[in-house]
């Protein structure tokens, strides 16, 4: 177990259900807890669901520290503060890597883990064009989201992806727009967020990896690496892209339920 003290912070969260079985959900890069509300509500009939905003995202605090080590430390502080006994941890993309980092650091302090469309390996930096597009939006000058959408379209042609990204815009007290995300720090730390999870032992808890058939984030050959970190892992493929839970929410939730009932 990793004993290093890291500069953790208290995170904003949303809470659903009153079951005694805790389930903690973590969003991906440039996402927030808002993205997971439908799935959280569906699962709240059986689980006490907590949906977190990770640091530098949503309504959680901003920090210059941004790595999987500190993201896992934030998760640890939340679990300890809420006195959650061996929760199930579920994370998508960046959130999935946070879950993996936590599971390897504290392998006895979770019940099971679910990782959505990400492997513990290093990736080429993929979101630099998206961050450049967000930086190109003159947030202090625009008067509405349509202008932001028009500026972002030059970098991100898919309307659904732009709609997702522009949820990070917020109105400031002076009526102008600003960012919920800590865009400068995310821009500087894209390489760190694309890095692999260091090998530091194994976690033998039940682990489900869910990938999208139209996504290339988890390749067939990644099964070997996943098993090396998480020997009890198994992989399920749904007919989606990278945002598995958003593209087929009912099928995704049913896959999660089936795994949790069977373990």
Please name the residue that has the structure tokens 């390897």.
Answer: 104
- pLDDT higher than threshold 60 for residue 21: yes
Q: How far apart are CA 167 and CA 165, in angstroms?
A: 5
Beta-sheet pairing, 48-52 with 88-92:
unpaired
Q: Say which range, 1-10, 32-41, 130-139, has the weakest mean pLDDT.
A: 1-10
Q: How far apart are CA 70 and CA 97, in angstroms?
A: 12
- Helix H or strand E encompassing 99: helix 94-105
Q: Which CATH architecture fits 13-122+195-262? A: 3-Layer(aba) Sandwich (3.40)
State the average pLDDT over residues 73-91.
97
Report pLDDT for 88: 98
pLDDT tier at 23 (50, 70, 90 boundaries)?
A: very high
Q: Which residues are catalytic?
A: 93, 242
- pLDDT higher than threshold 80 for residue 213: yes
pLDDT one-digit tens code per residue, 180-203: 999 999 999 999 999 999 988 899
- pLDDT higher than threshold 60 for residue 18: yes
pLDDT tier at 7 (50, 70, 90 boundaries)?
A: confident
- pLDDT higher than threshold 80 for residue 2: no
pLDDT one-digit tens code per residue, 133-172: 999 999 989 999 999 999 999 999 999 889 999 999 999 9
pLDDT tier at 227 (50, 70, 90 boundaries)?
A: very high
Determine the 3-state secondary structure of 161 from DSSP.
Answer: helix
What residue segments make up the domains of the chain, in order of their start? 13-122+195-262, 128-188
Q: How far apart are CA 9 and CA 180, in angstroms?
A: 17
Q: How far apart are CA 254 and CA 260, in angstroms?
A: 10
Report pLDDT for 5: 55
Determine if residue 218 is left, alpha or beta; phi over 0 gives left, psi from -120 to 50 gives alpha, anything else beta: beta
pLDDT tier at 3 (50, 70, 90 boundaries)?
A: very low
State the average pLDDT over residues 20-48.
96
Length of the chain: 263
If you average pLDDT over every residue of the chain, what do you get?
Answer: 94
State the average pLDDT over residues 2-23.
82
CA angle 168, 173, 182 (to 5 degrees): 35
Strands of the chain, DSSP E? 13-16, 22-26, 48-52, 88-92, 112-116, 169-171, 177-179, 207-212, 233-238
Q: What percent of the chain has pLDDT over 90?
A: 90
Q: Quote the tokens at residue 256.
A: 């999660």
State the average pLDDT over residues 58-87.
96
């Amino acid at each position: 177990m990793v004993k290093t003290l890291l500069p953790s912070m208290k995170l904003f969260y949303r809470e659903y259900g009153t079951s005694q079985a805790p389930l903690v959900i973590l969003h991906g890069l440039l996402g927030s807890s808002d993205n997971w509300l439908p799935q959280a509500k569906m699962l709240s009939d059986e689980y006490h669901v907590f949906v977190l905003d990770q640091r530098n995202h949503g309504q959680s605090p901003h920090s210059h520290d941004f790595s999987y080590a500190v993201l896992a430390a934030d998760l640890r502080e939340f679990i300890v503060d809420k006195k959650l006994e061996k929760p199930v941890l579920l994370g998508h993309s960046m959130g999935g890597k946070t879950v993996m980092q936590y599971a390897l650091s504290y392998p006895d302090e979770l019940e099971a883990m679910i990782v959505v469309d990400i492997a513990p390996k290093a990736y080429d930096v993929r979101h630099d064009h998206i961050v450049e597009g967000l930086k190109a939006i003159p947030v202090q000058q625009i008067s509405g989201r349509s202008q932001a959408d028009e500026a972002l379209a030059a970098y991100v042609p898919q309307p659904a992806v732009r709609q997702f990204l522009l949820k990070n815009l917020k109105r400031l007290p002076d009526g102008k727009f600003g960012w919920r995300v800590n865009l400068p720090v995310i821009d500087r730390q894209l390489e760190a967020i694309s890095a692999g999870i260091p090998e530091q032992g194994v976690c033998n808890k039940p682990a489900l990896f869910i990938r999208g058939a139209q996504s290339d984030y988890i390749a067939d050959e990644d099964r070997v690496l996943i098993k090396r970190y998480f020997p009890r892992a198994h992989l399920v493929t749904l007919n989606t892209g990278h945002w598995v839970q958003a593209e087929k929410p009912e099928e995704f939730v049913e896959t999660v339920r089936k795994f949790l009932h069977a373990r």
